[in-house]
């Protein structure tokens, strides 16, 4: 069982006394503070002592009702890879802080990936030299750590390792919380805060690294973010199974939205319906705001103003996905508001869908983006399309962004496909002068022999879409 340590100041306010316990907390009452037997204050003092004991027990109770999303061995294996990559120092991962407002707490993705623990203000220390990992948290499930301490014991632990350790590794890229993507967040923080002459604050990660340097001046602090990001690009079977479940939920939510769409319905109603459909089936959140592009807003690929009431003849691009147990899904559908394609809408849609289908036929391990583009080109010719036409030049065959703990997951995008990679297949084009746009997107995982569409089941041909939208 895990052992925890805490200290209680004595009644004189002097040196503290250390106690250890297995999920239990005991309180030592100094002898002179105890009332004599039979005195009138005995009952009151006993009640006070009992209440003090109860609240102290609650304060230090380490047991959490939280359950790990995956087996603790999976998280332990990830931490072992970190030991092997950085054998010459301590790896210190800072968890997300508690929130000041009325938002649900969300652990940052790197911390969650290495631990599965969703307790706020926690730390992980991975010690390659001792071949152990330590969790510093106020509450935690059994997550396979060798030791568990309180967060306020982190400094003492690091100090105890200074004779042997001269390098600390930590994450210097911005943490990802709800609906955040690290690379995009870095750009936003640089613009709004770090390089803003009226602000100038460093990122949370930079502050933490600076604190480490100040408290331990003989230690070098290095960034380990890139390797965690590399690990996250390959999803485990457990991660893929969860994303497959999320994909099914997302597909049904899109079908609900398409059935509800007609002229006179507002974009706000459709966005609300999508979120309701996801959450009633088990999503905790949306992976990102629901994107709805119509009319002049097609040029804004992430438009989410919801200011329009749909008119007859409008063509929609709806890009939306849920977050299910911290994992995201990315899907886009394109369709006419009235359920009937015009000749031009059909033309651009079928061109986009042809590229989308050709990519699905091509994806396999070992494929590069250039090879994919060439093979898609050849498939389009066989299907009767002219890849060199002005219309088809608008689209491309290749790979989109990674999808996982973030909708634009870390790692940028694949250069060469490998089993376990999950990414978006998302050909698109915008025809601004015509107030038209089209995007067809699915979330795909690379298998040992090819690929699997994690968001299969949506109507994708013109005929399938028109048939679905006739249903009440």
Domain boundaries, the chain: 1-29+48-61, 72-232, 237-470
Residue 76 main-chain phi, psi, to 5 deg: -60, -40
The rounded percent of the chain whose pLDDT value lies above 90 is: 82
Q: What tens digit of pLDDT does each residue of 39-79 get?
A: 444 444 544 444 444 344 334 445 455 789 999 999 999 99
pLDDT band at 251 (very low <50, low <70, confident <90, very high): very high
Residue 248 has pLDDT above 80, yes or no: yes
The predicted pLDDT at position 127 comes to 98
**What whole-number distance in Å separates Cα of residue 255 and Cα of residue 273?**
11
Distances (CA, A) of 153 to 19, 111, 134: 14, 18, 11
Helix (H) or strand (E) holding 444: strand 442-446
Residue 9 has pLDDT above 70, yes or no: no
Average pLDDT, the chain: 88
Please tell me whether residue 92 adopts helix, strand or coil conformation.
strand
Instruction: Assign domain 237-470 to its CATH architecture.
Output: Alpha-Beta Complex (3.90)
The predicted pLDDT at position 398 comes to 87
What mean pLDDT comes out for the span 236-241?
98
Gyration radius (Cα) of the chain, Å: 27
Q: Are 375 and 362 in contact (CB under 8 A)?
A: yes
Same topology between domain 72-232 and domain 237-470: no
Residue 185 has pLDDT above 80, yes or no: yes
Q: What tens digit of pLDDT does each residue of 115-147 get?
A: 999 999 999 999 999 999 999 999 988 999 999
**What whole-number distance in Å separates Cα of residue 311 and Cα of residue 296?**
13
Taken as a whole, the chain contains a residue count of: 472
Structure pTM? 0.86
Listed residue (316, 302, 421) closest to 365, CA to CA: 421
**What whole-number distance in Å separates Cα of residue 437 and Cα of residue 431?**
6
Residue 65 main-chain phi, psi, to 5 deg: -75, -10
The predicted pLDDT at position 176 comes to 97
The predicted pLDDT at position 40 comes to 41
Listed residue (120, 166, 123, 178) closest to 145, CA to CA: 123
The residues, ordered by sequence, that sit 6+ positions from 188 with a Cβ below 8 Å of its Cβ are none
CA atoms 254, 257, 259, 263: torsion sign: negative
Listed residue (305, 338, 349) closest to 439, CA to CA: 349
Residue 436 has pLDDT above 80, yes or no: yes
212, 216, 219, 220: CA torsion to nearest 10 = 30
Among the ranges given (1-15, 89-103, 155-169, 400-414), the one the predictor scored with the smallest mean pLDDT: 1-15
**What whole-number distance in Å separates Cα of residue 397 and Cα of residue 373?**
4
The predicted pLDDT at position 32 comes to 33
**What whole-number distance in Å separates Cα of residue 250 and Cα of residue 278?**
7
Pairing mode, strands 132-136 and 123-127:
antiparallel
Annotate 293-355 with DSSP letters as a single string. Answer: E-GGGGGSTT-----PBP-TT-EEEEE--EEETTEE---EEEEETTS---HHHHHHHHHHHHH
Please tell me whether residue 127 adopts helix, strand or coil conformation.
strand
The predicted pLDDT at position 1 comes to 37
**What whole-number distance in Å separates Cα of residue 101 and Cα of residue 103?**
6
72-232 in CATH: which number? 3.40.350.10
Q: What tens digit of pLDDT does each residue of 282-321 get?
A: 999 999 999 999 999 999 999 999 999 999 999 999 999 9
């Amino acid at each position: 069982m895990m052992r925890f340590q805490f200290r209680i100041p004595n009644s004189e306010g002097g040196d503290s006394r250390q106690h250890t316990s297995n999920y239990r907390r005991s309180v030592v009452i100094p002898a002179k503070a105890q009332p004599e037997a039979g005195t009138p204050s005995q009952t009151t003092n006993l009640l006070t002592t009992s209440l003090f004991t109860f609240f102290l027990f609650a304060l230090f109770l380490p047991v959490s009702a939280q359950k790990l999303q995956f087996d603790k061995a999976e998280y332990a294996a990830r931490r072992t890879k970190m030991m092997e990559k950085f054998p010459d120092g301590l790896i210190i991962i800072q968890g997300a802080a508690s929130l000041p407002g009325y938002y649900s707490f969300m652990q940052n993705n790197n911390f969650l990936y290495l631990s599965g623990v969703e307790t706020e203000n926690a730390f992980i220390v991975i010690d390659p030299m001792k071949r152990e990992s330590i969790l510093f948290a106020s509450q935690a499930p059994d997550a396979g750590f060798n030791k568990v301490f309180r967060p306020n014991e982190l400094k003492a632990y690091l100090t105890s390792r200074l004779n042997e350790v001269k390098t600390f590794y930590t994450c210097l890229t911005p943490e990802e919380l709800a609906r955040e993507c690290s690379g995009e967040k870095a750009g936003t923080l640089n613009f709004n805060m770090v390089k803003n002459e009226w602000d100038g604050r460093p990122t949370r990660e930079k502050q933490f690294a600076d604190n480490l340097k100040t408290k331990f001046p003989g230690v070098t602090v290095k960034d380990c973010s890139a390797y965690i990001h590399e690990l996250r690009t390959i999803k485990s079977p457990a991660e893929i199974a969860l994303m497959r479940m999320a994909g099914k939920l997302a597909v049904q939510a899109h079908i609900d939205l398409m059935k509800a769409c007609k002229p006179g319905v507002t974009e706000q109603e459709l966005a609300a319906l999508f979120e309701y459909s996801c959450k009633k089936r088990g999503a905790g959140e949306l992976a990102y705001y629901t994107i709805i592009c119509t009319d002049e807003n097609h040029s804004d690929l992430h438009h989410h103003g919801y200011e329009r009431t749909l008119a007859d003849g409008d063509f929609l691009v709806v890009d939306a996905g849920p977050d299910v147990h911290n994992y995201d899904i990315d899907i886009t559908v394109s369709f006419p508001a009235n359920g009937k394609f015009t000749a031009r809408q059909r033309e651009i849609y079928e061109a986009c869908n042809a590229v989308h289908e050709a990519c699905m036929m091509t994806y396999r391990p070992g494929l590069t983006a250039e090879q994919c583009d060439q093979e898609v080109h050849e498939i389009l010719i066989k299907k009767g399309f002219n890849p060199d036409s002005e219309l088809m030049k608008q689209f491309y065959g290749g790979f989109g962004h990674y999808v996982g703990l973030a909708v634009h997951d870390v790692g940028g995008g694949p250069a060469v496909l490998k089993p376990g990679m999950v990414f978006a297949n998302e050909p698109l084009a915008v025809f601004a002068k015509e107030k038209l746009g089209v995007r067809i997107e699915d979330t795909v995982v690379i298998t040992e022999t090819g690929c699997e569409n994690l968001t299969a089941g949506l109507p994708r041909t013109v005929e399938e879409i028109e048939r679905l939208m006739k249903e009440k």
